[in-house]
Amino acid sequence: MSSLSAIQFGIDEKAARVVQKHPRLAAMLPAEVDELVTGFLSAKALAAAVSDLQVESVDLTDELDASLRAGEVPDAAELVDRYATAKRKADELRAVRAELAALPVRFVSDIVRMINEEVRVMPDVLAEELDELLDRAAEVVAQLDGIDSAEAAVDAEKAAEWRQLKTHAAELAELRSAQIALARLEDPLNLTPGSAGLALLLFGGIERVVPDLARRLTSQVRNAITGDAITTLPFPLFDLGSPLHLLAVLRNRNLLQPHVARPEEIAERLAAVHGASEPAAVQPDRTRSAQLGGEHEAMRDMSRRARNATIATPKVLQPWD
């Protein structure tokens, strides 16, 4: 795994900065990057050592002043040789320092070039890791059938399983964070927090679960008790580290189709979602959701339970962490 923490990438080296920030992405880099990082650190150490070297400084004026006043004339050949040697060494040291100062920069340029090449395939690796993670977490979720909170897990003597679920949820959040950071390198405008574009990036079937996705994400209702604004979604869609998010994803995996998409892969879907959005005063078409069968009905039930839980607790959908 490449350790990039010692390198300060430039503001325009965005892909390198993203990979540096996410250990999961840095772990995907080839071994040659480790060699380049080692070369960078070695070059910096060598440049610093050479920078500390000193050469003899010869000031002929000060040195000869006293001798000449006393009538002493130094050996001309020896004086010239001594002065020329000192000047040559000083010039050579400056030249070596300049050469060595450029070495770390060259290593960083090679690292950035290699990272820019590797980020093209990183979404594919993340997609495989997502499937593997969800498969592992599905075993735990199966053991938590009917359990939607830590309290219920304790009552059912499944506290250990709930802790496992939270561990998987934290890993999912870390993976999704890396995915989103990569995607925003290509399209920062359509993948803002809480946006329809972000929802499509995470799920291949979210617009079937929430047909009026764009409207729901832009219009909010208020909690009857607290007055807090809440988004009327059937599960905590963007709370990626929440156990409830992972439970919903795995219990409705076939419907939601969690995936790792690239921005260009969701462009048509995003246009369709925004094109189908309705004014806030217009009620969404319920006939489309009725066509989705039992799985969609389960998602609607979850939405109703979430709204009921919101009335009882000020903190929306997060009292179970």
In the predicted model, residues of the chain with pLDDT beneath 70 are: 1-2, 56, 58, 220-224, 226-231, 276-321
Give the model's pLDDT for residue 82. 79
Taking residue 60's Cβ as centre, other Cβ atoms within 10 Å add up to 11
**At residue 288, what is the residue type?**
R
Reading the block at residue 25, the tokens are 């992405």
Give the model's pLDDT for residue 238. 94
Give the model's pLDDT for residue 147. 92
Local structure of 285: helix, strand or coil? coil
Give the model's pLDDT for residue 228. 62
**Model confidence pLDDT, tens digit, residues 86-108:** 788 888 888 888 888 889 999 99
Local structure of 266: helix, strand or coil? coil
Query: Residue 13 in contact with residue 112, Cβ under 8 Å?
Result: yes
Q: How far is CA 31 from CA 2, 24, 37, 38, 115, in A?
A: 8, 15, 10, 11, 12
Reading the block at residue 224, the tokens are 């009857």
**Model confidence pLDDT, tens digit, residues 224-279:** 676 665 667 889 999 999 999 999 999 999 999 999 999 999 999 999 998 865 44
Local structure of 319: helix, strand or coil? coil
Give the model's pLDDT for residue 315. 31
Give the model's pLDDT for residue 289. 40
DSSP 1-39: ----TT----TT-HHHHHHHH-HHHHTTS-HHHHHHHHH
